[in-house]
Amino acid sequence: MGIKIEGGITGTPAEVNTANELKTAQTLDYTAAGFSTISCEADAGSVTGVRSTRNPDIDEDYRMRVAVDTMLFGDSFTGTALNTNVWDNPSTTMTTAVSNGFVTLNSGSSTATTVYAMVRSKPMFYSYGQFGASWECIAIIAQVPQSNNITEWGAAVVATNATPTDGAYFRLTSAGTFVCVANYGGTEVTAIPAGGFAALIGAGNAHHYVIVMSDDEITYWIDDVMVAEIPRQTGAGSITTSGSLSFFARTNNTGATGLAQQIKIGMVSVSLMSANTTMPWDLVLSRNGQSPYQSQSGSTVAATVAYTNNTNPTAGVPTNTTSTVITGCGGIGWETLTLAVATDGIICSWQVPAGAAGVPGRTFLCYGAKVSSGIQTVLAGGPFIESWTLNYGGSALSLATTDGATSKAHKRVPMGQRAVTATAAVSTMLADVELRLTNPVAVYPGEYICVSKRVTGTVGTSGTAQHTVTFYGILI
């Protein structure tokens, strides 16, 4: 028999819902209203056992405090080659492979002793006091924890197979325990998440891991659930001593193992939290390695600029259909100065990386180009005027390509003109031709960009010019 609750004035009984929870309502009379405090749940406490809530903040004019994150870095392991422009890959005996969107450490399945493999980001990232840093990745652990193996992933200052000297990371210990680690200048504090490896990770499962570092604590998350929280160490002036950390993942055999442990890392990103730095997007992309002067993730690592060490180029006669002088995202080339009058000749051409399965397509935002030239062997003939043009967006290299159902013609942007005197002598420097665009032109994946020239005046009959061509821009 329950207790009946009813209003003292109206005598109306109170009601409950289907879960037997008492139905209540606050007054709609503003002058009679009390107030409610808003709090937001960050984590339900299903692993830590303690519900985590935080209060929003408002200023004296009742404006709620808001925050915007700034992306510092992001990369995915596309294609079949590790992009060593962005990643270091220290190892002993263990091998590394890229496939299906993951980089696999110990891809050769070694169980030998004193062997390891690691990937470590070349750029390092930071947090500023209350503006924390978020480090996240997708990862798969191939086996249950193995005796004599240590596998780690997160943020650290780390080299070879030695213990990190700073940072915060997840670890599978050689004793088979899953722990979260906070490392302050070499002093480690660990927390063991409830449920351990079997309940939280499991062999062969892909999970989303996040480490959030702020001024007073480090929190560790798996699939949006907080699994551990470690406060700033007693007496420490900050969360870490270095301030700048690399993302890393490593598997290390300290002795022979029963099964070959592997860790697979997929998407990686690092963000500066709550600080609206308005960092220009092109700066973020540059730190990601998306400069056009080097190859991109998913392709064989190489420079894209035509510049061979200790080797002079071979002179070529330019045409409007082929690239015989410079092939690359700029570079150095020699031109035989016999281009016919009123004929377009390609001096430098580059094809923007095309998208394919496992290889991200890139769009080149070109902010212009520059041509610097000098006479390499004496010119016979002349004088003439060179008119230079930036050509972009062609589906084929040839400047004669027309628009059609499956073809796309080049767009042209005049760069400028310069004069070449008759019988110009060796080492005569020609005026630079440079185009700077306030708004960039977009060259889409697989399309071509090139600079070309056209001659008016008296054609040369022999002689060579050395050209240095630079493209300005970023890949997105």
The structure tokens 């690691």 sit at 118
Structure confidence by residue, pLDDT tens digits, 331-353: 999 999 999 999 999 999 999 98
pLDDT for 227: 97
pLDDT of 145 above 80: yes
Tokens representing 104 are 């696999």
Tokens representing 204 are 């062969």
pLDDT for 2: 64
CA neighbor of 389 nearest in space, from 363, 362, 364, 418: 418
CA distance 168 to 4: 56
CA neighbor of 182 nearest in space, from 240, 113, 125, 256: 240
**Beta-strand relationship, 364-381 and 460-475:** antiparallel
pLDDT of 282 above 70: yes
**Mean pLDDT along residues 162-166:** 93
pLDDT of 299 above 70: no
pLDDT for 298: 66
pLDDT for 71: 83
**Mean pLDDT along residues 199-203:** 97
Tokens representing 193 are 């998440």
Confirm or reject CATH 2.60.120.200 for domain 70-287, answering yes or no: yes
CA distance 305 to 358: 24
CA distance 471 to 326: 12
Are 441 and 411 contacting, i.e. CB atoms less than 8 angstroms apart? yes
pLDDT for 109: 98
Domains 70-287 and 326-475 share a fold: yes
Confirm or reject CATH 2.60.40 for domain 326-475, answering yes or no: no
* 147 secondary structure, DSSP code: T
Structure confidence by residue, pLDDT tens digits, 371-408: 999 999 999 999 999 999 999 999 999 999 999 888 89
Please state the domain extents for the chain: 70-287, 326-475
Tokens representing 444 are 């889409």
Structure confidence by residue, pLDDT tens digits, 31-74: 777 666 777 788 888 888 888 887 777 777 777 777 778 888 89
- Alpha helix (H) residue ranges in 109-188: none
**H or E, element range at 43:** strand 40-43
**Mean pLDDT along residues 312-327:** 95
CA neighbor of 308 nearest in space, from 291, 278, 280, 333: 333
Cβ atoms within 10 Å of 15's Cβ, excluding its own:
9
User: Strand ranges (DSSP E) for 273-363?
Assistant: 326-327, 331-336, 344-351
CA neighbor of 249 nearest in space, from 186, 174, 164: 164
Are 360 and 394 contacting, i.e. CB atoms less than 8 angstroms apart? no
C-alpha distances (whole Å) from 395 to each of 299, 328, 364, 383, 441 are 21, 16, 14, 35, 15
**Mean pLDDT along residues 202-219:** 94
Are 449 and 350 contacting, i.e. CB atoms less than 8 angstroms apart? yes
Query: Is the N-terminal amide bond of 231 cis, ω within 30° of 0?
Result: no
Please name every residue paired with 190 in a beta bridge, in sequence order, or none if there are none. Answer: 181
Are 239 and 219 contacting, i.e. CB atoms less than 8 angstroms apart? no
CA atoms within 13 A on the CB side of 136: 19
C-alpha distances (whole Å) from 347 to each of 27, 128, 251, 415, 464 are 78, 48, 49, 13, 13
Tokens representing 395 are 């589906």
Residue 301's pLDDT band, with cuts at 50, 70 and 90, is low
